[in-house]
């Protein structure tokens, strides 16, 4: 197997241009990247994805120095509430809530207010970073958006930072939420432009990109990332991260596939998702979007078990208490994981 350093010679046209590229040359490239003087090319990013496990320490050191430079010693904890569950018209292959999913999940139009506001108060009272509100579906009526806007007003009055994952909005609807106090929206790319049709055919990758650009134009912060382990290639991961680098999201969540029974990807081969492979993806995300909050989202508890300190040296954001339709590490254990690794998590309350 070629070493990481020789792989960096595979530039421009995919062949070995020189055997003389030294480790010092590569250190210089990564150091420039750390200092924001240099942006990794597609070829260099692919070489990182082909990095042998024995050559990981330098990559982790460089990615870790970026994490420390921009995020210090803090880990943002996010709590996710599934505010609308199931009955989605879209056919995303990974999702338990999609129209082609046979997964046994709870379905409802709105989670009860007691649950929503209790979760929100929990985020505030425990000094967590943000309350994330997930709603299944692609499109919403203006009346539904006004209902959500009223809930946002109540939650903002409690002093929490919010983010909504809410499919596709019209400009009018986005402004309704902005006027209610929402300042961040999640809309993931999920995969690369060339691979996207393999996981969803009811809307396009370009629609997602256009929706994000519209939201940015209206002044929203953006949370956007992807899912690893759906059969995509290393090149697909790089291409997705290149597009995310162009978007410059405030938060960049990376999910590692948790195959859900009843979904088209229930039998997906996740053997590629070794701790080293997953760490490479997160390091590359840090190198390509150094100032974004890099979040290890779904799959953290499965693919990084026992390696939490290493993980938190690269990422600065995680979820606690589960995901939309999957369980996760409870809040107390999450806090212990963070503090045992020598990091802090509390934020100042508004």
Residue ranges of the binding site for [4Fe-4S] cluster:
88, 92, 95
H/E segment holding residue 163: strand 162-165
The DSSP letter of residue 292 is S
Q: Which of 108, 116, 163, 162 is nearest to 137 (CA)?
A: 108
Which structure tokens are listed for 231? 């059969």
3-state per-residue secondary structure call for 100-147: CCCCCCCCECCCCHHHHHHHHHHHHHCCCCEEEEEECCCCCCHHHHHH
Tabulate helix, strand, coil % of the chain (nearest 5): 40, 15, 45
Annotated binding site: 88, 92, 95, 132, 163, 223, 295
Residues contributing to the annotated binding site for [2Fe-2S] cluster: 132, 163, 223, 295
Q: Is the dihedral of CA 285, 291, 297, 302 positive or negative?
A: positive
Distance between CA atoms of residues 244 and 43, nearest Å = 17
The per-type count for the chain, helices as H runs and strands as E runs, is 13, 11
The count of C-alpha atoms lying within 13 angstroms of the C-alpha of 190, restricted to the half-sphere facing its C-beta, is 23
Q: How far apart are CA 235 and CA 10, in angstroms?
A: 14
Measured N-to-C along each axis, helices 234-247 and 275-288 cross at an angle, to the nearest 10 degrees, of 30
Mark out the alpha helices in 140-274 (DSSP H runs). Answer: 142-157, 171-180, 205-217, 234-247
Residues in CB range of 176: below 8 A, 6 or more apart: 142, 145, 146, 149
């Amino acid at each position: 197997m070629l070493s990481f350093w020789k792989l960096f010679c595979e530039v421009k046209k995919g062949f070995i241009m020189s055997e003389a590229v030294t480790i010092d040359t590569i250190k210089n490239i990564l150091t420039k990247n750390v200092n924001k003087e240099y942006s990794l090319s597609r070829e260099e990013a692919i070489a990182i994805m082909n990095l042998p496990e024995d050559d990981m320490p330098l990559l982790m050191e460089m990615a870790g120095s970026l994490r420390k430079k921009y995020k210090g010693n803090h880990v943002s904890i996010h709590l996710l509430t599934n505010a609308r569950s199931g009955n989605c018209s879209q056919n995303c292959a990974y999702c338990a809530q999609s129209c082609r999913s046979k997964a046994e999940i709870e379905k409802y139009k709105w989670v009860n207010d007691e649950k929503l506001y209790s979760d929100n108060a929990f985020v505030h009272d425990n000094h967590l970073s943000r309350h994330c509100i997930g709603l299944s579906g692609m499109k919403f009526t203006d009346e539904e958006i006004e209902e959500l806007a009223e809930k946002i007003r109540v939650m903002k009055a409690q002093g929490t930072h919010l983010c909504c994952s809410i499919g596709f909005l019209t400009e009018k609807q986005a402004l309704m939420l902005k006027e209610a106090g929402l300042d961040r929206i999640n809309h993931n790319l999920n995969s690369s432009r060339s691979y996207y049709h393999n996981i969803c055919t009811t809307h396009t990758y370009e629609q997602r990109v256009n929706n994000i650009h519209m939201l940015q134009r209206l002044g929203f912060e953006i949370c956007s990332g992807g899912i690893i382990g759906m059969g995509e290639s290393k090149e697909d991961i790089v291409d997705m991260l290149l597009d995310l680098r162009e978007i410059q999201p405030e938060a960049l969540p990376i999910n590692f596939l948790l195959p859900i029974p009843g979904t088209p990807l229930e039998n997906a081969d996740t053997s590629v998702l070794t701790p080293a492979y997953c760490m490479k993806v997160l390091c590359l995300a840090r190198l390509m979007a150094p100032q974004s909050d890099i979040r290890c989202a779904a799959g953290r508890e499965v693919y990084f078990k026992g390696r939490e300190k290493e993980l938190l040296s690269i990422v600065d954001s995680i979820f606690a208490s589960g995901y939309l339709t999957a369980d996760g590490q409870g809040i107390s254990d999450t806090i212990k994981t963070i503090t045992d690794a020598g990091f802090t998590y509390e934020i100042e309350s508004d």
